[in-house]
Amino acid sequence: MRPVAVVVLSKYDEVFLPFLESLEKFVQREVGVIVVQDGRQVANGQINPETRYWKLLEGKTPFQMAGNGNIGLKAVPKSHDILYCGDDVRFLEKNTIEKLQEVAYLDDSD
């Protein structure tokens, strides 16, 4: 399988922190995580971009869902698959990313 980059936007810590907790708990694979933040420090500094392939990017101010999403998507290497999700997503079981990739590759049309 190709490498995966998770792209997520962050505006409110109370929404983002549970996303982060579920990611840490259920995503065992080393995946790149690109967080587009809205001009303030994400998760009160709990993200260390030097671990787990994190990349923190500054989003547009005021917060713009489409514009900030595009910033994150453009930062993904062309060699990677993208899992674009909101910070209200929660991973509930292991291997979710691998299962999503398997389903995505069942359809071989371009």
Model-level pTM?
A: 0.85
Classify strands 81-85 and 4-10 as parallel, antiparallel or unpaired. parallel
Domains of the chain with CATH codes: 4-104 (3.90.550.10)
Predicted local confidence at residue 37, as pLDDT = 83
Summarize pLDDT for 28-71 with one digit per residue, the tens.
767 888 888 876 666 656 665 555 577 888 888 787 889 999 99
Mean pLDDT of the chain: 84
DSSP assignment, residue 61? S
Residue 79 has pLDDT above 60, yes or no: yes
φ/ψ of residue 13, rounded to 5: -60, -40
Q: Collect all residues with Cβ–Cβ distance below 8 Å to 45 and sequence separation of at least 6.
A: none
